[in-house]
Structure 1
Amino acid sequence: MFTDQSFQVNTNKLNTDPVASQNTTPNNKFIFEEIEGNLFADAQENSSLAHCVSEDFKMGKGIAKIFKHKYQGVEELVNQHKKIGQTATLKRGNRYIFYIITKKKYYQIPKPEDFELALWDLRKVCEELNVKHLSLPRIGTGLDKFPLEYVINAITKIFEGCDMRMTMFYL
């Protein structure tokens, strides 16, 4: 778990007011929303999905295990040869499923810089694929133990100006 000091060091370059990044100015095309609901049942059918994984694609715990069983494709993901800080992608029907690689092994805790690097890559991939709506769980806050405030600040800073809506689901 992070100490208050490491949290401050790793987030001081990020926006400290996530509400300010929630489409409050006409120039900001990025809309972030957090809603209570089931990601798999409540996300719009045309919304792409994303979650964090390790480079080894074990996905044996947490929501990653559900993604693994629901969307399969582990061999396809492994064959993309993606590394920490990159995003592996599956296409399922009319949506993309993004696997944000934040650590090497499933049992590790990711470093904040790797988490942020992976978010930058996710943004790049979403822009390349013209993704306009992305739904995700509270990434990084479960087994990876990042504070929710840090995650939201990182997302809103990194995706600022990106022409998309991101919906974060929680139960």
Structure 2
Amino acid sequence: QRIKIINIIFQRNKLLIFLFTRFVQIDASVLFLVLVMSASSHDSMPPPSGQAPEDSWGLNYVSGNLFSCPEDDALAHCISEDCRMGAGIAVMFKRQFKGVDELKEQKKLTGECAVLKRDRRFIYYLITKKKASQKPTYDSLMRSLEDMKSHCVGNGVTRIAMPRIGCGLDRLEWSRVSEILEQVFKRTNISVTVYSLPEKAETTAMKENMRR
């Protein structure tokens, strides 16, 4: 890796080395050493203020009930602007945390994120589409995640639990959704844990909640 860096420095600075040695009369080996040291110190510099190292975030997977996560973990899922939450895991969020009127009062639009505070945790509602009957896009999902990230960073949230957002009824592909999660959170210290139930257990849980 060090040899590769030195080769890159030499290729990029051949003209600079020539000019300095020709007109400033500085020894070429001394100038080259200065360039190498400068590049090395730049590579070891910490990220800008407010950013975390790229490898400090995490995407973890758990097989189990989302609502069994630690009580101080934030929760997140996707809804529409009309806040209907009449199908899928959204029904369980509505039943457990209520607050539909509170969400509507925030008047969040597609690509934004509504928030409820319940005890020690925040509940994030990613607004990914205008109406419940519509489907989200990868762009609207990313924008709503960016909005959620801003709230997390501003409020010291470092752990979020969520289902496989945008998938299932919303028909997005998890392989692309997981890439978006990495793109959004990789420069933070936020850990995302994705919960999923075996398909049969998930279907049973949904039916039970619909009956209540």
Q: Quick check: TM above 0.5? A: yes
Say whether residues 1:166 and 2:192 are aligned partners: yes
- The answer to which structure, 1 or 2, has the higher relative contact order (CA under 8 A, 6+ apart) is 1
Could you tell which deviates more after superposition, 70-79 or 116-125?
A: 116-125
The question of 1:139 aligning with 2:152 is answered no
Which residue does the alignment assign to 2:156? 130
**Aligned residue type for 1:61:** A
Alpha-carbon distance in 2 for matches of 1:112, 1:157 = 12
Give 3-state SS (helix, strand or coil) of 2:56's partner: coil
Which residue pairs with 1:6 in the alignment?
Answer: none
- Measured in 1, the distance between the counterparts of 2:116 and 2:66 equals 17
Instruction: Give the aligned partner of residue 68 of structure 1.
Output: 94
Runs of 4+ in 1 over 6 A off after TM superposition: none
Structure 1 residues 33-82: Cα deviation after superposition (integer angstroms, max 9, x where no partner): 011110012x1111010000000000000000100010000000000111
- Change over 3 Å in CA distance of 1:92–1:146 after alignment to 2: same
Q: Residues 27, 149 of structure 1: CA spacing in aligned structure 2 closer, same or farther, 3 A cutoff?
A: closer
Compute the displacement of 1:27 (Å): 4.3
> What code does the residue aligned with 2:105 have?
N
Out of 44, 48, 59, the position equivalent to 2:70 is 44
Matching residue of 1:9: none
Residue type matched to 2:144 in 1?
A
- Tell me which residue corresponds to 1:81: 107
User: Could you say what secondary structure the match of 2:162 adopts?
Assistant: strand
Instruction: Tell me how far apart the structure 1 counterparts of residues 80 and 54 of structure 2 sit (CA, whole Å).
Output: 35
Amino-acid identity (%): 39
Letter in 1 for 2:61: E
Give 1 or 2 for the bigger CA radius of gyration: 2
TM-score (norm 1): 0.82
Distance in 2 (CA, whole Å) between partners of 1:130 and 1:55 is 26
In the aligned structure 2, how far is the partner of 1:141 from the partner of 1:62? Answer: 11
1:98 aligns with 2:107: no
- Mapped contact 2:54–2:186 kept (Cα < 8 A): no
**Number of residue pairs aligned between Structure 1 and Structure 2:** 145
Q: Amino acid of the residue matched to residue 184 of structure 2? A: I
Alignment RMSD: 1.0
Q: Which amino acid aligns with 1:118?
A: S
Residues 1:32 and 2:59 are matched in the alignment:
yes
Q: Which amino acid aligns with 1:135?
A: A
Read off the aligned partner of 1:170 and give its amino acid letter.
Answer: S
Name the structure with the higher helix share: 2
